[in-house]
Structure 1
């Protein structure tokens, strides 16, 4: 008012993506119970899905909004993203491919593994829960509507979006996908953490192997 400025238009903050579609399959107990810390690599794994927007401009200059979905699996031991899938829509195949890769990566764990998630539709699928039982992996789920039960993954999503997404407009699926893949490599291999002794997740894991 002081400078006689007037807002001409604005956009509302988009609603956070929710994969919860009600109870459609298996809902597992919360085995993790916010006990995120572990000194054993590949024992506690968590996953979630997050949504990004990108835009495409046609020959007439009209801009349309599209979405991209990221499904990462993280090792709670060091915060390393051990597998992930990226797709243009929420996809069971995307989640299952990333799950199978995470199972393979963590197969060297000498203890029984636990895979944690929210109660999203993909994690209630028979194929998902059956695959975990097949490998004798415990399935764990956050309580409904309680994001703090998976705060380690929420924290990763927050960092990723703060550092490469918010304030940046992407004009193609491939451009956004490439930047996410580059960030995950950077996050795993170069982004240091105080709780890891100022090492990156990969550096921390490798330092223990040497020790």
Structure 2
């Protein structure tokens, strides 16, 4: 069964498609004529996706995998039973058994009607799944009146039941007048749903443009800065949940516990002590190294220096080797980026990696006039902004697709430029790192 759940607006929108026979919250029943036509067009060379789009289906609504799955089933039916397989009842029949047309006698219709009524009675009696979870347990709530009205209207419309409104309303303990008032307000609800759909299309445009890796706050900043559209982040989050836009983001590893470090480094203390925002750009720098695999699993090593105030990557160096030259070249590029004019109390902070505790590295840091600070043992939070950048980098860059070191260098250069100049950050007053740095300098 599909993981996508259709809402009332989407159900009505799908029902308006002439190729759809019936729609429920989780499934779509297609007309036999469309199935036959789709199979023939597929055999003629058209892709499943192209067929569905040409016949008015929105893949963002029904799911991009739906066409392929449907055509796979329909072609199998066509090969086994031919065209008749789509127009006859096959459920409950053994393979190869003669297909018979559906029986439509009054007795069968009566049995179906009774079964439908029992189904509705059971469905109306089921409490809504718990909306809140508390420490003391789970609190269940009955379905709301609006949800009850939707259910009654859906069943009556789906099974063409007549003169059953009073019976269903009494059974569901809702007023008949309330049900008809809810029906009369349908145009208002549809207008609101149409507005939601228009906003969703704009959100989805940004979401797809960011390769499905943007959250509500990122989308809000892009809408405001690139599309000049102001939209509340709560509304964006609601529409993303409503239309099943799930960003692909890294998840915390529940099995990896943080070690509580109490022992400070013997040589260089943790002078920064997580005071990342010093108020002035180019005063506090963070540095670290990460592994980047490309081609057939070949490792490369990326060393970066980040301004802890503006979040800008001010220097970086990519190497095939993990030797000390990796961090020496990074220091040289950092000095070039500020024209070797550091603040008198400028500080560079890192973890306790062997590169940063090496005597030669510490000597070069002092020669540049920088003060060195090192995180406590086993505590990555002491260098959290640098770790955060590497996390975003690995989420948003398909570096494993690169076949050569040169391709990898180019894609990293493009990403860092994009990150510094075009990537809005909520905690930087919704500016990019470059914009925020200019803002602080102007102030």
Same fold at TM > 0.5? yes
Moved over 4 A (4+): none
Number of aligned residue pairs: give it: 178
Q: Deviations over 1:24-73 (max 9, x none)?
A: xx841111111111211111101000001112xxxxxxxx4210100000
Question: How far did 1:151 drift?
Answer: 0.6
Q: Secondary structure at the match of 1:198?
A: coil
Counterparts of 1:173 and 1:101, CA distance in 2:
20
Counterparts of 1:130 and 1:70, CA distance in 2:
22
Q: Secondary structure at the match of 1:145?
A: coil
- 2:380 maps to 147
Q: Deviations over 1:56-102 (max 9, x none)?
A: xxxxxxxx421010000011010111111100121311211111221
1:112 aligns with 2:345: yes
Counterparts of 1:110 and 1:180, CA distance in 2:
29
- 1:39 maps to 279
- 2:401 maps to 169
Q: State whether residues 342 and 369 of structure 2, in contact with CA within 8 Å, keep that contact through their aligned partners in structure 1.
A: no
Q: Deviations over 1:117-142 (max 9, x none)?
A: 01111112222111122233211001
Identify, as 1 or 2, the structure richer in helix. 2
- 2:303 maps to 71
- 1:50 maps to 290
5+ residue gaps, structure 2, are: 1-265
1:184 aligns with 2:424: no
1:89 aligns with 2:329: no
Counterparts of 2:344 and 2:280, CA distance in 1:
9
Which residue of 91, 104, 125 maps to 2:358? 125
Counterparts of 2:377 and 2:398, CA distance in 1:
27
Question: How far did 1:195 drift?
Answer: 1.4
Cα distance change, pair 110–123 in 1 and its aligned pair in 2 (3 A): closer
Identify, as 1 or 2, the structure richer in strand. 1
- 1:159 maps to 392
Counterparts of 1:75 and 1:130, CA distance in 2:
21
Q: State whether residues 50 and 70 of structure 1, in contact with CA within 8 Å, keep that contact through their aligned partners in structure 2.
A: yes
Query: Using CA pairs below 8 Å that are at least 6 residues apart, which structure has the higher relative contact order?
Result: 1
Question: How far did 1:104 drift?
Answer: 4.0
TM-score by length of 2: 0.38
TM-score by length of 1: 0.78
User: RMSD between aligned alpha carbons?
Assistant: 2.0
Structure index of larger Rg: 2
Which residue of 350, 354, 369 maps to 1:136? 369
Counterparts of 2:424 and 2:344, CA distance in 1:
27
